[in-house]
Amino acid sequence: MSAPRVGFVGLGNIGKPMALRLAASPMQLAVHDLAPGPVAELAAAGAEVAGSVAELAAQVEVLGVMVRDDGQARAVLDEALTTARAGLVVVVHSTVAPGTPAELAAIAEPHGVRVLDAPVSGGPMGAEEGTLAVLVGGAADAVEAARPALEALGSKVVHAGPIGAGTRFKLARNLMHFVAFTAATEAQRLAEAAGLDLRELGEVVRHTDAITGGPGAVMYRESTAPIARDDFWHGVFGHVADLGEKDLGFAIELAEELGVEVPLAELAHVRLRKGLGL
């Protein structure tokens, strides 16, 4: 497959390092952003600079979009469609509402333009290193047309399904991400009340999650249905549930002694076993 000519709109905290990865690839890159600093940095890295989204869309085959919200994504697409040639693939990397990708695809279709939703996971560090997970929804032919650009951005590219599937994948992943952050704040409050070093606790969490896989370690099954007793995972998750209920019970008991509220821990104590499929 020949390398496509790629455009990129949105040179923010994650978009700029993503664009720099594209600039370092064999693909021709052109960029647009309203902020002059990031544009100058991309120009110094070898990218061409377009004065508008319309100018950019007229000259590329794949257009990456990493803007702030749904409204900005719609505005970029609307302007791109004024000059885009049939066959353009617009790749929306922003995390948008579940229904937005299908809406954008419907707007683009009469123009012969294909839309992919391809939010990313891995943050600025993953963007800088080219190790993002890129979660893609859309038609297979459009995914293949954009694949060289997608693979320049991330070390894991997942074609999750039809348009919108990438966004749904990202929302499921981030649900766990931010619920876990909230649980981390409960653990910090408990540790602080117990007179422990919070930085050391954080170091231990990162150390052991790197060994065990953290919450992802229980996500190997293909279904959330109840597990049959003769299934391999019944024994594994039964052990997990036994340990979890014991340790959560002790943590809740300690929290009560110290006067610390831990509602997520209490909910997990009730729901862990059923959630694991037992």
Q: Which are the catalytic amino acids?
A: 170
- Tally of CB atoms within 10 A around 28: 18
Contact assessment for residue 154 and residue 132, using Cβ atoms and an 8 Å cutoff: yes
- List the one residue out of 243, 252, 244 whose CA is nearest residue 190: 252
Report the distance separating Cα 260 and Cα 109, nearest Å: 54
Phi, psi angle pair for 139, to nearest 5° = -65, 145
Amino acid at 1: M
Contact assessment for residue 30 and residue 7, using Cβ atoms and an 8 Å cutoff: yes
Give CA separation, 86 vs 8, 92, 109, 114, in Å.
18, 17, 9, 9
- List the one residue out of 253, 234, 236, 245 whose CA is nearest residue 272: 245
